[in-house]
């Protein structure tokens, strides 16, 4: 059963229901669920579903031809095609008046080794198939290739698509559908360790506890996620050592180009090249200060995939223990006690999503147009009257460009209640963006609730939320 993706399936149905030729593009990082989505969509349709591999132009042609023959002439062998044009001509001849779906999955693996493929597709879309009922779905995991070579103005296919779908990881609410009987805290942890990635969520056994699942997936040599990061990187990169070092630094909290380069002993140009490739496959993203997005100096490189963050934080140190068959002990003694600390960044992400969703509905007295984080410097006066500068950040900043208002929030995923000090800090830091936006709401998000001090707080502009609030 396919969980989620209702909007994407509706978009594909709308695309399919229109008569005539059509083309849509589906892209997103590996394991995100692209192939599963397409398989669900074509299961009751006349379809050619070919997944390209890194085997070269000739072999991809051979394998694609077999898929085509299987649809139109099942059981027939010893038929070969010398060119992609001859296969396309065969499709044209045999489809008659029936609606056919043509899927090329992992398109970059083929197109990178056959520079003419996209131009030939364009020719057939414009001429041979122009009056046919053929629906073309082009799919790929290399985001940079799909954006630059398929979707951009430079592409031979530019202007031919009817629609496009960039498939992202599931939200924390969608991820919760995989484990409906879990507590909200365990649902959050499940989202955190999988990053909302469809494939990883599908490996969770909802009949087992979250602890059992973590051990089974990460802390056993036969666990699906034990070698997942290495496997993914091997599939996408030749310079594994550098890429691995970069991810390790980012996972440890280093997020600027010069510091990462210095830590791993590489030139900034070398590191930047690998960073761009990591962004291209959807593992790293550039995070910008939401009130200062044009400032290039205020850019941070962060891991987009929390599963990667979890893996790099815990697995390398545990490899020897896991290989001795003692991974469960390691998890219980080393990982579980600091799991809440790991979840801190995940919880912030969940809170930003929640704030954005509520803000779009106008729940905060304005229409929220974007959400992110803020960081900068604040001046603090100590008890002796001395002023000192210190770094400062705000976990949640939602902006209404329409109303010039902001909502700011602080998030704590801890086994301790939020106290007055956290409230005071949020109020103080909210003033740091007040020059650009009027702060209309202050939101505190807490796993464990609030101290008694808040019972006397009567400020209507301050909202006190819990983890349960996010799942209501």
Q: For the chain, which residues make up each domain, given as ranges?
A: 6-166, 173-342, 351-471
CATH code: domain 6-166 is: 3.40.50.300
Residue where the block lists tokens 């080794």: 113
Handedness of CA 138, 141, 146, 147 (dihedral sign): positive
Mean pLDDT, the chain, rounded, equals 94
Residue the block writes with tokens 């106008």: 362
Q: What is the pLDDT of residue 235?
A: 83
Q: 332 pLDDT band (50/70/90 cuts)?
A: very high
The pLDDT assigned to 287 comes to 92
pLDDT of residue 455 exceeding 80, the answer is yes
Question: Residue 72 and residue 74: Cα distance in Å, rounded?
Answer: 6
Q: With cut-offs at 50, 70 and 90, classify the pLDDT of residue 381.
A: confident
Q: Pick from 257, 263, 252: which is nearest to 275 by CA?
A: 257
pLDDT of residue 301: 94
Is residue 51 within 8 Å of residue 106, measured between CB atoms? yes
Cα–Cα distances (Å) from 64 to 56, 82, 99, 142, 309, in that order, read: 12, 12, 19, 20, 37
CATH architecture assignment, domain 173-342: Orthogonal Bundle (1.10)
Question: Per-residue pLDDT averaged across 189-217, rounded?
Answer: 97
Q: Which CATH entry fits the domain spanning 351-471: 3.40.1350.10, 3.60.15.10, 3.40.50.1370, 3.30.470.20?
A: 3.40.1350.10
Instruction: Please tell me the predicted confidence (pLDDT) of residue 9.
Output: 95
Q: pLDDT band at residue 341, thresholds of 50, 70 and 90?
A: very high
> What pTM was computed for the model?
0.91
- Calculate mean pLDDT across residues 365-394: 90
pLDDT (0 to 100) of residue 1: 66
Is residue 8 scored above 70 in pLDDT?
yes
- For the residues 47-61, what does the mean pLDDT come to? 94
pLDDT band per the 50, 70, 90 thresholds, residue 282? confident
Out of 9-23, 66-80, 256-270, 409-423, which region has the weakest mean confidence (pLDDT)? Answer: 66-80
Q: Is 231 helix (H, G, I), strand (E, B) or coil?
A: helix
pLDDT > 70 fraction of the chain, expressed in percent and rounded: 100
Residue 168 confidence (pLDDT): 94
Quick: pLDDT tens for 129-180. Answer: 999 999 999 999 988 899 999 999 999 999 999 999 999 999 999 999 999 9
């Amino acid at each position: 059963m396919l969980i989620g993706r209702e909007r994407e399936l509706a978009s594909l149905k709308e695309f399919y229901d229109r008569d005539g030729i059509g083309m849509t593009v589906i892209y997103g990082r590996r394991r995100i669920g692209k192939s599963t989505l397409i398989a669900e969509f074509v299961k009751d349709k006349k379809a050619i579903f070919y997944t390209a591999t890194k085997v070269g132009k000739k072999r991809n042609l051979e394998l694609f031809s077999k898929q085509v023959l299987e649809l139109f002439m099942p059981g027939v062998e010893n038929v070969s095609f010398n060119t992609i044009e001859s296969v396309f001509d065969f499709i044209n001849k045999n489809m008659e008046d029936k609606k056919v779906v043509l899927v090329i999955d992992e398109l970059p693996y083929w197109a990178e080794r056959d520079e003419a493929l996209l131009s030939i597709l364009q020719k057939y879309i414009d001429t041979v198939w122009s009056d046919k009922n053929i629906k073309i779905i082009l799919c790929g995991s290399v985001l940079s290739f799909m954006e630059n070579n398929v979707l951009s103005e430079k592409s031979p296919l530019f202007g031919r698509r009817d629609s496009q779908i960039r498939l992202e990881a599931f939200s924390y609410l969608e991820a919760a559908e995989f484990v409906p009987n879990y507590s909200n805290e365990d649902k959050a942890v499940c989202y955190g360790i999988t990053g909302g990635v469809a494939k990883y969520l599908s490996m969770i056994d909802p009949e087992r506890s979250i602890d059992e699942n973590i051990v089974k997936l990460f802390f056993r040599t036969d666990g699906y996620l034990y070698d997942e990061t290495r496997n993914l990187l091997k599939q996408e990169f030749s310079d594994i050592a550098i890429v691995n070092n970069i991810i390790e630094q980012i996972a440890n909290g280093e997020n600027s180009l010069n510091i990462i380069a210095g830590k791993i002993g590489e030139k900034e140009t070398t590191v930047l090249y690998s960073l761009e490739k990591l962004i291209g496959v959807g593992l790293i993203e550039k995070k910008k200060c939401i009130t200062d997005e044009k400032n290039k100096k205020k850019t941070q490189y962060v891991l987009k995939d929390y599963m990667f963050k979890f893996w790099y934080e815990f697995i390398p140190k545990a490899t020897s223990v896991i290989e001795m068959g003692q991974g469960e002990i390691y998890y219980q003694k080393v990982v579980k006690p600091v799991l809440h600390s790991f979840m801190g960044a995940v919880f912030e992400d969940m809170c930003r999503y929640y704030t954005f969703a509520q803000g779009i509905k106008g729940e905060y007295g304005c229409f929220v147009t974007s959400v992110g984080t803020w960081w900068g410097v604040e001046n603090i006066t100590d008890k002796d009257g001395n002023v000192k500068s210190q770094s400062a950040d705000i976990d949640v900043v939602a902006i209404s460009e329409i109303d010039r208002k902001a909502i700011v929030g602080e998030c704590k995923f801890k086994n301790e209640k939020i106290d007055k000090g956290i409230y005071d800090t949020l109020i103080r830091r909210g003033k740091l963006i007040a020059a650009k936006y009027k702060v209309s709401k202050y939101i505190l998000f807490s796993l464990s609730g609030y101290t008694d001090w808040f019972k006397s707080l009567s400020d209507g502009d301050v909202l006190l939320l819990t983890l349960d609030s996010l799942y209501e």
